[in-house]
């Protein structure tokens, strides 16, 4: 079973690369950002609470996203594997994921981190904001706050997987196909 964590700051290309990886490896895509946005679109209570935080560039509480992931793992018990996109975003989320996967007799294969500098992230997100309608992509100050939230709370998750010998960082700048090939090479190495 292949369980991949695709990691990186907002705008690093996680969603973009996930779309290609799920086709190649037949994985179930679990994007907490997408799951939260569908709760917002459905107007649920959870969605309303999440929207207030997401629109400020802040993370939503750990128990909310862990609960969503738990449900999705339960619903997809016969999956060939999972790609975790935008999750875990804090060390407590990473610890909870390890426990949930252990309950399903599986574990994370590896984490691949996409490395992109702040200037390029801002450029990409502002560009996406012109067409995506995502409130969190609309202005530079909000994007800066998301990157700060990433540096403060999410970046330590890389160390968590590195300690387990399950971490690879690759250059996330350049051609999307080339970046995809590098991710596939890391998956190949981790699966041997």
Token code pair at residue 39: 């709760």
| Triad 100, 8, 1: Cα angle to 5° | 40
Stretch that binds ligand B4P, among 4-12, 39-47, 105-113, 157-165 (CB under 6 A): 4-12
Residue 124 interacts with ligand B4P (CB under 6 A): yes or no: yes
| Triad 98, 157, 104: Cα angle to 5° | 10
Residue 185 CB, nearest approach to ligand B4P (Å): 16
- Coil, strand or helix: which one is 9? coil
Residues in 141-170 at the binding interface with ligand B4P, rule: CB under 6 A = 146
| Sign (positive or negative) of CA dihedral 79, 12, 39, 105 | positive
Residue 13 interacts with ligand B4P (CB under 6 A): yes or no: yes
| Sign (positive or negative) of CA dihedral 17, 135, 89, 152 | positive
Binding mask 49-88 for ligand B4P (x = CB under 6 A): ----xx--xxxx----x--------------------xx-
Answer for which of 2, 4, 39, 89 binds ligand B4P (CB under 6 A) is 89
Sheet holding 81-85, edge to edge: 28-31, 81-85, 2-7, 110-115, 167-171
88 φ/ψ angles, rounded to the nearest 5 degrees: -75, 145
26 φ/ψ angles, rounded to the nearest 5 degrees: 60, 45
Residue 10 interacts with ligand B4P (CB under 6 A): yes or no: yes
Cβ proximity to ligand B4P, 34 vs 164, nearer residue: 34
Give binding residues for AMP as ranges: 32, 37, 58-60, 86-89, 93, 134, 146
Residues found near ligand B4P in the complex (CB under 6 A): 10-16, 32-33, 36, 53-54, 57-60, 65, 86-87, 89, 93, 124, 128, 136, 146, 176, 179
Give binding residues for ATP as ranges: 11-16, 128, 174
């Amino acid at each position: 079973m292949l369980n991949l964590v695709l990691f990186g700051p907002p705008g690093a290309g996680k969603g973009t690369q996930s779309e290609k990886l799920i086709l190649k490896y037949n994985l179930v895509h679990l994007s907490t950002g997408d799951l939260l946005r569908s709760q917002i679109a459905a107007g649920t209570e959870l969605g309303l609470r999440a929207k207030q935080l997401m629109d400020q560039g802040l993370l939503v509480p750990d128990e909310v996203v862990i609960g969503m992931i738990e449900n999705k793992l339960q619903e997809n018990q016969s999956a060939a594997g999972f790609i975790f996109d935008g999750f875990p975003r804090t060390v407590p989320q990473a610890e909870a994921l390890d426990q949930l996967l252990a309950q399903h007799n599986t574990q994370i294969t590896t984490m691949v981190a996409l490395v992109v500098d702040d200037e390029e992230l801002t450029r990409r997100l502002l560009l996406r904001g012109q067409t995506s309608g995502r409130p969190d992509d609309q202005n530079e100050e909000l994007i800066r706050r998301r990157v700060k939230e990433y540096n403060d709370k999410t970046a330590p998750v890389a160390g968590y997987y590195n300690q387990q010998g399950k971490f690879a960082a690759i250059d996330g700048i350049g051609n999307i196909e080339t970046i995809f090939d590098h991710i596939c090479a890391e998956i190949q190495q981790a699966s041997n």
